């Protein structure tokens, strides 16, 4: 249908009398049916175009692991994101518009993440994607979002490949968490300087990009500091029995064991390691930072374990976020909730500065984020679309996380 005819239909210019004159009485019924169909079609074309332009909603896709092996991560991250969005909407929105989160379940699977991203972009017409929580699931959606020029904010995906692939910055991908090299460096430095470790074993999840990346960085930094990695072993996500490999690891008699993995497997590994008499410090990364680790491993086995994370609830700078979260959900946030909140604050700030919900303008604003106050502190986006922000090392004592050290990198 050309523009002139579409406009005639939208304004209902053809009257019943004109139709009689043009088509005759016997054709009136047919013409009326055609007119009705054309007017209905115009709702989705010409007239609908104007309605879309005047929409009072900014549609944002929330692609998270709502079910599956790391559902705790996805659900917690979504809760933090939802809190940030509710806060801005309750305050009147952005330029008279509210943000509408459209949720999709990536089911803790990379293939499902790609399917969810495709649906959110193609069917739901979202302007931005937030999530998923894990590296592999974010990587699965990057090409889809890039092809459609839709920006992604990855709240918790720490692999460098998320924002920089083969030396090239991904133009539409940003994150609200620090990256694996920082975590690997922090834990290697902590092992050598604080724990005075000379030797280490690395035990990774070989099915996880996140785990493999962290293991590599830790090895490089630990050996550069004068330490020696005696053994490198691997397991697969969803494994249940780790005792055969842990028995082998025990023979190495290393000073520390580095286990960069997610909470389900970490809890089982820690429990079984202690049952085998492995008493040395066990080190980890932000994948440990979930209350379910204590449920799985038990409080006592987690003593003498340390891991890097994005914030501590003992830090005075994050108390405002914690109180707001507790008020909304009646439970304390974990680190993934905090990173989801950070991602929401980044999104809101970018839309405000862009003055538009145009994806390209939001993308530009995200890249220019500077000294933004979020839930875990202040962040500034670097040239590789990674935020410059603080990291902490937490120690487990009788099932409770205790702040051990805080590291603030220089911009």
pLDDT tens string 68-94: 999 999 999 999 999 999 999 999 999
Work out the pLDDT band at 376, boundaries 50, 70, 90.
confident
- Level-2 CATH architecture, domain 181-309: 3-Layer(aba) Sandwich (3.40)
Residue 355: pLDDT over 50 = yes
**How large is the average pLDDT for residues 299-306?**
98
Contact 325, 83 (CB under 8 A): yes
Work out the pLDDT band at 35, boundaries 50, 70, 90.
very low
Q: What is the pLDDT of residue 138?
A: 97
Work out the pLDDT band at 54, boundaries 50, 70, 90.
low
Dist CA 52 CA 48 (whole Å)? 6
Average pLDDT of the chain, as a whole number? 88
Residue 132: pLDDT over 90 = yes
209 vs 306: which has the higher pLDDT: 306
Characterize the bridge pairing of strands 173-175 and 152-154: parallel
Strand partners, 305: 282, 396
Contacts of 29 (CB under 8 A, 6+ apart): none
**How large is the average pLDDT for residues 216-222?**
95
**How large is the average pLDDT for residues 385-408?**
91
Dist CA 1 CA 39 (whole Å)? 11
Q: Is 103 exposed, middle or buried (0-12, 13-18, 19+ CB in 10 A)?
A: middle
**Count of Cβ atoms closer than 10 Å to residue 302 Cβ:** 25
Dist CA 330 CA 328 (whole Å)? 6
Dist CA 213 CA 225 (whole Å)? 19
**How large is the average pLDDT for residues 345-372?**
97
CA atoms within 13 A on the CB side of 302: 28
Dist CA 314 CA 310 (whole Å)? 12
Q: Where in the chain is the domain with CATH 3.40.50.2300?
A: 57-178+316-389, 181-309
The pLDDT > 70 percentage for the chain reads 86
Measured CA distances, 154 to 79, 131, 144, 173 (Å)? 15, 5, 14, 7
The model's pTM is 0.73
Q: Which fold has domain 57-178+316-389?
A: Rossmann fold (3.40.50)
Q: Is 32 exposed, middle or buried (0-12, 13-18, 19+ CB in 10 A)?
A: middle
Dist CA 151 CA 142 (whole Å)? 9
């Amino acid at each position: 249908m050309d523009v002139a005819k579409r406009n005639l239909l939208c304004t209902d210019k053809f009257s019943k009398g004109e139709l009689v004159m043009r088509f005759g009485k016997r054709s009136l019924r047919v013409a009326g049916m055609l007119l009705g169909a054309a007017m209905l079609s115009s709702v989705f074309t010409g007239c609908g175009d104007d309605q879309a332009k005047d929409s009072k909603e900014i549609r944002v896709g929330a692609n998270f692991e709502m079910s599956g092996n790391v559902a705790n991560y996805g659900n917690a991250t979504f809760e933090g994101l939802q809190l940030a969005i509710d806060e801005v909407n309750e305050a009147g929105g952005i330029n008279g518009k509210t943000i509408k989160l459209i949720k999709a379940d990536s089911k803790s699977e990379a293939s499902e993440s790609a399917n969810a991203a495709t649906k959110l972009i193609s069917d739901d017409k979202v302007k931005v994607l937030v999530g998923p929580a894990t590296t592999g699931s974010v990587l699965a959606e990057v090409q889809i979002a890039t092809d459609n020029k839709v920006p992604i904010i990855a709240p918790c995906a720490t692999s460098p490949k998320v924002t920089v692939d083969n030396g090239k910055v991904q133009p539409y991908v940003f994150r609200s968490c620090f990256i694996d090299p920082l975590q690997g460096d922090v834990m290697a430095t902590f092992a050598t300087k604080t724990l005075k470790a000379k030797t280490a074993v690395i035990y990774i999840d070989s099915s996880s990009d996140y785990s493999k990346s962290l293991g590599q960085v830790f090895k490089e930094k630990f050996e550069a500091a004068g330490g020696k990695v005696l053994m490198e072993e691997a397991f697969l996500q969803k494994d249940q029995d780790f005792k055969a490999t842990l028995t082998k690891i025990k023979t190495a008699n290393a000073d520390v064991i580095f286990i960069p993995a997610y909470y389900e497997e970490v809890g089982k590994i820690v429990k079984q390691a202690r049952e085998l008499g492995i008493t040395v410090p066990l080190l980890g990364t932000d994948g440990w930072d979930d209350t379910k680790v204590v449920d799985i491993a038990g409080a006592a086995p987690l003593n003498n374990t340390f891991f890097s994370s994005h914030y501590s609830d003992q830090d005075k700078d994050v108390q405002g976020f914690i109180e707001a979260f507790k008020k909304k959900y009646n439970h304390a946030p974990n680190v993934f909730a905090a990173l989801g909140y950070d991602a929401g604050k980044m999104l809101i700030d970018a839309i405000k500065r862009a003055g538009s919900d145009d994806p390209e303008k939001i993308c530009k604003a995200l890249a220019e984020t500077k000294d933004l106050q979020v839930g875990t502190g202040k962040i500034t986006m670097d040239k590789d679309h990674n935020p410059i922000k603080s990291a902490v090392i937490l120690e487990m004592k009788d099932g409770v996380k205790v702040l051990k050290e805080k590291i603030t990198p220089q911009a």
